[in-house]
Amino acid sequence: MSEPITIRVTREPFGDYFTIILPNGHTEELEPDPAREWFKERGANMDVIEKVLDHVWNFYRAEVTVENYAEPVMKKSKYSPDLDA
């Protein structure tokens, strides 16, 4: 079980994407559907995330605590070399 972390989510007025800011300062800029997928891959409660994203869409800023945060397994990029051959 991992430690819960608090993630800040913002959106610029009239912007089409969310900025997700992790406690270590790392940021991600994602449109709504990829933002939902980002949280889902990290074990967030999706009912809460829907409410948070709706709030941020209307009021531009929120913080959410993800109780069971886990970094997703890295997927192989289509641009990475095939080292198994």
- Could you list the pLDDT tens digit for every one of the 85 residues in the chain? 578 999 999 999 999 999 999 999 999 999 999 999 999 999 999 999 999 999 999 999 999 999 988 888 776 666 666 666 5
pLDDT of residue 23: 95
pTM higher than 0.85 for the full model?
A: no
pLDDT of residue 1: 58
Taking residue 28's Cβ as centre, other Cβ atoms within 10 Å add up to 15
In 3-state terms, what secondary structure has residue 62? Answer: strand
pLDDT of residue 73: 77
What is the separation, in whole angstroms, between the first and last Cα of the chain?
36
pLDDT of residue 22: 96
pLDDT of residue 48: 96
CB distance 56 to 73 below 8 Å: no
Buried b (16+ CB within 10 A) or exposed e, 40-68: eebebbeeebeebbeebeeeeebebebee
